[in-house]
Amino acid sequence: MADIPEAGDYFKLRVEQTKEGLFNMIQKRYVELAPQTAEDSPPEKFLLIELLIALPVEALIIPQAQINSQDVSCRVDFLLKYPHRRNTLIVECDGYRHQNDYHVIKADKGRDRKLLANNFPYILRYTGDEIVYYGAVCAQEIKKVFYDYVINEGRGNIVV
């Protein structure tokens, strides 16, 4: 009869195997999606990593998604979807220009209002600094809204 490993040893082995599997899955998805992010935006790549870790594997993460609706046509940094759900979530990574140029800020706010009027009610904006220094916190906020609004289709309480 073969030696039966101790539960603690088996636990450690399974954790290592799971960790390796998750790492490989996230790395594979990152390699597929990262080239679609804006070339000149490291925060987008950082946030992509955090989203891959935080969101369920079934989540559709679409970098640089083109939105074409009745009154608005624009590109968003991330469009998040879930299979068989109608709601979506837009996530924007605002760099220095989006935070300091009055005309860019004004244009962003106008675009957000148009998106809202065209059934895109949830747009989360994060500064580059927030993403770089607190990316995991940003991802947890996004995860909360994603679960409450997209997966549960607004039946949960949305608190950010």
The tens place of each residue's pLDDT in the chain, 160 residues long, gives 567 778 888 888 888 998 999 999 999 999 999 999 999 889 999 999 999 999 999 999 999 999 998 888 999 999 999 999 999 999 999 876 656 677 888 888 899 999 999 988 899 999 999 999 999 999 999 999 999 999 998 775 555 4
Gap between the terminal Cα atoms of the chain = 56
DSSP assignment letter at 34: G
Q: Would you call 137 helix, strand, or coil by DSSP?
A: helix
Residue 102: what pLDDT? 79
Residue 98: what pLDDT? 55
Run of H or E including 1:
none
CA 78 to the chain's CA centroid: 7
Residue 1: what pLDDT? 54
Spell out where 20-97 has E strands. 60-68, 73-81, 89-94
Residue 125: what pLDDT? 95
Task: List beta partners, residue 91.
Answer: 78, 124
Residue 72: what pLDDT? 87
Residue 33: what pLDDT? 96
Tokens of 154: 């607004």
Spell out where the chain has E strands. 60-68, 73-81, 89-94, 123-127
Residue 3: what pLDDT? 74
Q: How far apart are CA 158 and CA 160, in angstroms?
A: 7
Domains by residue range for the chain, with CATH: 7-151 (3.40.1350)
Residue 87: what pLDDT? 92
Residue 80: what pLDDT? 98
